[in-house]
Amino acid sequence: MAMKKASELGIRTLASRISSPPFISRHLHASPGSKKIVGVFYKANEYASMNPNFVGCAEGALGIRDWLESQGHKYIVTDDKDGPDSELEKHISDLHVLISTPFHPAYVTAERIKKAKNLQLLLTAGIGSDHIDLKAAAAAGLTVAEVTGSNVVSVAEDELMRILILVRNFLPGYHQVINGDWNVAAIAYRAYDLEGKTVGTVGAGRIGKLLLQRLKPFNCNLLYHDRLKMDPEMEKEIGATYEEDLDAMLPKCDIIVINTPLTEKTKGMFDKERIAKLKKGVLIVNNARGAIMDTQAVADACSSGHIGGYSGDVWYPQPAPKDHPWRYMPNQAMTPHISGTTIDGQLRYAAGTKDMLDKYFKGEDFPPQNYIVKEGQLASQYV
């Protein structure tokens, strides 16, 4: 049901044919015979056996191993993805399909694409394919697809939770309890109600719309900025106001939520200068992509108090190194990349991945909204 609702919110179109370097098709569909498929997922270790539906980890392997191997395909699964000596690198030269997730992304660079002579298909089990050099993939004639809508509910719910955690100053209270302390004033002096606050989302695609719908009962002032304006009926139903000028919207916001994909245009868009123009004490939630933010600028603004609180589950790179400044900045409620990999989300993106693989083997097209790169063309949100 969640995927159906998400797909109804909008279907992405493909645009902007890549003309340089020249497009060379590697064919969308599988040629006959056994295929080598490599999956890159996070390792679950002792947690793998604790839930039979935990399919999104390396041990669970999306639950498709028996199905693939019964058809004569070779399925390699690893969590070792980075560097020239990684397990993934050993298989780059002869794999046909690479499956990865945003939660433990296999960074597919132009160099790796050049080495992958047999590669035809890059699948993201989830949503967000910015770990792939999409222009290089398009130029090489590869197909890139993801399971659109599979975990939009998961992410939108997580964003709402993070907003409330920041607004109510929840984490200091939690830390007091586990540390044996009790100091109500240290929490209450910066705890607020969400009602009446101005919340702006940068991006109002599937996740952004779902978040706005969930915020409506809190009686907030809802703003949104996006490439596309919602149709008037949906805008009225949600009760949100369109802001065409991003820099005009941002200073109005008590809370800013990032819901835009990572592209060349959005990379580093929240830099020192833009952050300085935000309302002092602004709260920011970012479950989109870490690289949309200037890492040090965010850390500095949290330290100065200009950003009153920052929460999200996305970092750059991932996994985040131990010395990443967001781990140690004040007023943060960061986690590893978890929002879209709930058990419910895993089951949806595992089923969607299996469906696309089945269509690939049969020579059938994928659902149109799943394509990120097809026949040398990029989806419009990545242009």
CA distance 286 to 292: 9
* Domains of the chain and CATH, by start: 36-148+342-378 (3.40.50.720), 151-334 (3.40.50.720)
Is 206 annotated for ligand binding?
yes
Q: Is the peptide bond before 319 cis (omega within 30 degrees of 0)?
A: yes
Is 261 annotated for ligand binding?
yes
Is 168 annotated for ligand binding?
no
Torsion of CA 222, 225, 226, 227, to 10 degrees: 140
What is the model's pLDDT at position 15? 42
Strand order in the sheet with 307-312: 240-242, 221-225, 198-202, 255-258, 282-286, 307-312, 332-334
What is the model's pLDDT at position 19? 40
What is the model's pLDDT at position 24? 54
**DSSP assigned state of 292:** G
Catalytic residue IDs: 151, 289, 318, 337
Is 246 annotated for ligand binding?
no
What is the model's pLDDT at position 381? 79
Which stretches in the chain have pLDDT values below 50? 1-23
CA distance 320 to 337: 10
What is the model's pLDDT at position 32? 73
CA angle 355, 361, 365 (to 5 degrees): 65
What is the model's pLDDT at position 70? 97
How distant is the alpha carbon of residue 94 from its chain centre? 28
CA distance 163 to 312: 10
**Which residues have CB under 8 Å from 199's CB, separation 6+?**
163, 215, 220, 221, 222, 223, 253, 254, 255, 256, 257
What is the model's pLDDT at position 195? 98
What is the model's pLDDT at position 12? 38
Q: Are 222 and 216 in contact (CB under 8 A)?
A: yes
Is 339 annotated for ligand binding?
yes
Is 340 annotated for ligand binding?
yes
Phi-psi domain of 45 (left: phi exceeds 0; alpha: psi -120 through 50; beta: other): left
Is 338 annotated for ligand binding?
yes
Distance (Å) of CA 15 to CA 8, 147, 374: 20, 19, 10
What is the model's pLDDT at position 28? 58
Instruction: Give the model confidence (pLDDT) of 294-353 as tens digits.
Output: 999 999 999 999 999 999 999 999 999 999 999 999 999 999 999 999 999 999 999 999
Is 127 annotated for ligand binding?
yes
Is 39 annotated for ligand binding?
no
Is 151 annotated for ligand binding?
yes
What is the model's pLDDT at position 30? 66
Is 76 annotated for ligand binding?
no
Is 262 annotated for ligand binding?
yes
Is 143 annotated for ligand binding?
no
What is the model's pLDDT at position 190? 96
